[in-house]
Structure 1
Amino acid sequence: MKKVLVVLAILGAFSGLAQAQQKIQVLSTQELVNECKLPASPESRSFCIGYTTAIYDTYLATRHPQRAKPFICVKQPAPKRDDVIADFVKFAGANPELADKPAAGTVLGFLAMRFPCGRK
């Protein structure tokens, strides 16, 4: 019985190691641009809005104000979401070297450029 448990433990360890070594696919900038281009299907539009909103919301939720100064400052009233997304698509098109980069990083870089924070 102990031998069986040892074998199962070893197999479990190898299984966990194999899963840890799997490459996690991330959405590329080009893939996001393809979803965000207009005219978009309702599914693509929903994905684009959800993904880009999640990136910004994650930035807001994870940035510790005492340890990291803000680098994206959207002044109110905020521009229309569709206008910002259209500007992102243009930005990505003008910077083809970003096409294979992770979309989340490109979106954050774009937002930092589009909505820079003023110096205090």
Structure 2
Amino acid sequence: MRSLDTTRILRRGGLALALAGALAASPAVAQGQAAGGAPAAFTTADLARLCGPAADNANAMALRPACFAALVTIGQTHSLYTTGPRAQRPIFCLPDPTPALDRVAADFVSWAAANQQHSGARAAEGVLRFAAATYPCPAAPAARRR
């Protein structure tokens, strides 16, 4: 897998602020606090738990919107930086038709379980790694030589 330019995209995009706002009401995130009351890092494993809570979890229905908000926020931020006149090279390319959020969430949970080496990474990085592996972009045509 190619080296992800996610750090640069995320720093410039302010995704952390948008993601924090979208997830602030989530019970799972609200309970996660580091020493001194500072919010804990929101990781790939945390997002996978939001997207795939156990069926017997009483909060399962309440967690779905937080999962979807995170996935949509990360996807739309990626889109902002990969379209237009100053576009960056995309990390992933969604198929047409675009998969349903339920399917993306379920696939992300499966990917996170199979790629636990990324469980401690920031959630946005995990989603971008998942998307790059699941929805790779077609190879760019080779430049013509004169």
TM-score under structure 1 length normalisation: 0.71
Are 2:76 and 1:54 equivalent residues in the alignment?
no
Quote how far apart the aligned CAs of 1:78 are: 1.4
Quote how far apart the aligned CAs of 1:24 are: 6.6
Change (3 A) 1:72 1:24: same
Identity of aligned residues (%): 29
* SS of alignment partner, residue 26 of structure 1: coil
For residue 50 of structure 2, what is the aligned residue in structure 1? 35
Are 2:96 and 1:73 equivalent residues in the alignment?
no
Quote how far apart the aligned CAs of 1:67 are: 5.1
Structure 2 CA distance for aligned equivalents of residues 107 and 101 of structure 1: 10
Structure 1 CA distance for aligned equivalents of residues 87 and 138 of structure 2: 18
CA deviation vs aligned residue, 1:56-94 (integer Å, no higher than 9, x gap): 101111236545222211121112211111111011101
Structure 1 CA distance for aligned equivalents of residues 104 and 87 of structure 2: 28
Instruction: Kindly indicate which of the two structures has a greater share of residues assigned to helix.
Output: 1
2:119 aligns with one of 99, 107, 118: 99
TM-score under structure 2 length normalisation: 0.60
Quote how far apart the aligned CAs of 1:41 are: 2.0
Structure 1 CA distance for aligned equivalents of residues 130 and 137 of structure 2: 13
TM-align CA RMSD: 2.0
Q: Tell me the number of residue pairs that the alignment of Structure 1 and Structure 2 aligns.
A: 98
Are 2:137 and 1:117 equivalent residues in the alignment?
yes
Give structure 2 stretches of 5+ with no counterpart: 1-37, 142-146
Give structure 1 stretches of 5+ with no counterpart: 1-22
25-34 or 52-61, which moves further after superposition?
A: 25-34
Name segments (4+ residues, structure 1) moved above 4 Å: 64-67
After superposition, residues 16-31 of structure 1 pair within 5 angstroms as 25-31=40-46
Matched letter for residue 46 of structure 1: P
Structure 2 CA distance for aligned equivalents of residues 43 and 70 of structure 1: 32
Q: Which gives a bigger RCO, structure 1 or 2 (Cα 8 Å, sep 6+)?
A: 1
